[in-house]
Structure 1
Amino acid sequence: MEEIKRVCVFCASSSKVKECYTKDAVLLGKILAQKGIGMNYGGGAVGLMGAIADSMLLNRGDVTGIIPRFMVEVEWEHKGVANMIHVDTMAERKKLLVENTDAVICLPGSTGTLEELFEVLSNKKLGLFTKPVILLNTNGFFNPMIQMLDKIANEEFMRDEHRNIWSVVEKPEDVIPAIINATPWTMEAFKIAAV
């Protein structure tokens, strides 16, 4: 893989999660900033979103937030992120989050985080998105989902090759190596999208 310049990070906005999740978000933000890798994220000020943004900013990282206007109105927006893009819809937000990025990193989260992740995985399966997708599996958070994805492949709802559209790491320090070593994927993937 060529140089990693910018990544998209999906993650939770909950401020009630266990400390281990926040700790990994903070460490990942520090790692990205220190390596000069910019981040697109959902623009929130609390939870893992706030933690990773704060960490990036503390370490002089390049942060772009993308947030729908209705979330700004209820004061979910991170006031410390100078480059904040306001959009009208969640669909616009998801499009801009991944645009011109070199990888997607998914941290633990709720339905919104998983919805963003599965849209990217679906697009990658179709060859519409070709960049690495990394799951930061803090505290085994994604284990049940990975088991479900394995079942999907085992039951032939998708091909074995589609197990290569994501990579799983257990520690923030392993995210960048996982991006670099991810299985190459191209738009030609459309030819094997069907089972």
Structure 2
Amino acid sequence: MNICVFLSAADLDDRYTRPARDFARMLGKAGHTLVWGGSDSGLMKVVADGVQEAGGRLVGVSVDFLSSKARPGADEMVIARDLAERKRLLLEKADAVVIMVGGTGTLDEATEILELKKHGRTLKPVVLLNTAGFYDGLEQQFRRMEEEGFLPRPLSELMYFADEPAAALAYLEEPPAAH
């Protein structure tokens, strides 16, 4: 399976890097391919290292203005001309999406896939990996959106919330009918 991971390229604390590395190793060991923003820095590097060390493939999609930070030695690396093309290519290459800790870029990518799912434009499973409670507030906001009628579909049809890497991967490996 090609699993797209949206996440930060920042250097982060061990409470975020350790679970990300664990997820990456599980992904690689299971024979999956990482599809990611292509960066060789911060949390993106941690995840790419973990997948590669465990025998998984790396498919990066960088963007022109960040191409100097692209990871050398990826199995495939595409350089998009802008962020919109990058998001489109990441989603095209993915069978599933995992949202890990990140900043505004990660939120932008996350809301785009959720918007596509909301309108029935994709059926790809989406997991929000809520490492160390990072997304507690966002989960609360999504639940409020659902409760107050802002979402035309149940939140459970749009995304799955996982607190641990193993739960995230287990959800993605379930038969599609289970989603």
d(CA) in 2 for partners of 1:93, 1:50: 18
Q: Which moved further from structure 2: 130-139 or 153-162?
A: 153-162
Residue 190 of structure 1 aligns with which residue? none
Letter in 1 for 2:32: I
- Counterpart for residue 55 of structure 2: 60
Q: Is the 8 A contact 1:125 1:162 kept in 2?
A: no
- Residue 38 (str. 1) matches residue 33 (str. 2): yes
Residues 7-64 of structure 1, C-alpha deviations (whole Å, 9 max, x = no match): 111000111x221111111111110111001111000111111100011111221110
Match of residue 44 from structure 2: 49
Please show how residues 89-100 of structure 1 align to structure 2 within 5 Å: 89-100=82-93
Match of 2:104 among 94, 111, 115: 111
Dislocated runs of 4+, deviation >6 Å:
none
Conserved 8 A contact 1:134-1:166: yes
Residues 71 and 100 of structure 1, relative CA distance in 2, 3 Å threshold: closer
Calculate the aligned-residue CA RMSD, in Å.
1.9
Contact 2:23–2:169 (Cα < 8 Å) also in 1: no
Tell me the amino acid that sits aligned with residue 147 of structure 1.
Q
Question: What corresponds to 1:155 in structure 2?
Answer: 148
Q: Deviations over 1:144-194 (max 9, x none)?
A: 0010111111221124623421001111111122124488599xxxxxxxx
1:20 counterpart letter in structure 2 = R
Whole-angstrom CA distance in 1 between matches of 2:167 and 2:100: 13
List alignment gaps of at least 5 residues for structure 2: none
Aligned AA (1:103): A
Letter in 2 for 1:179: L
Partner of 1:20: 15
Q: Give the CA deviation at 1:80.
A: 3.2
Aligned counterpart, 2:7: 11
In structure 1, distance between residues paired with 2:133 and 2:155: 21
Query: What's 2:169 paired with?
Result: 176
User: Which one of the candidate residues 133, 157, 162 is aligned to 1:140?
Assistant: 133
Structure with larger Rg:
1
Q: Using the alignment, how far apart are the partners of 2:109 and 2:175 within structure 1?
A: 20
Amino acid at match of 1:115: D
Contact 2:57–2:75 (CA under 8 A) maintained in structure 1: no
The 1:77–1:27 alpha-carbon spacing in structure 2 relative to 1, beyond 3 Å, is same
Is 1:132–1:182's contact at 8 Å kept on the other side of the alignment?
no
Identity %: 30
3-state SS in 1 of match to 2:143: helix
For structure 1, the 5+ residue unaligned runs are 187-195
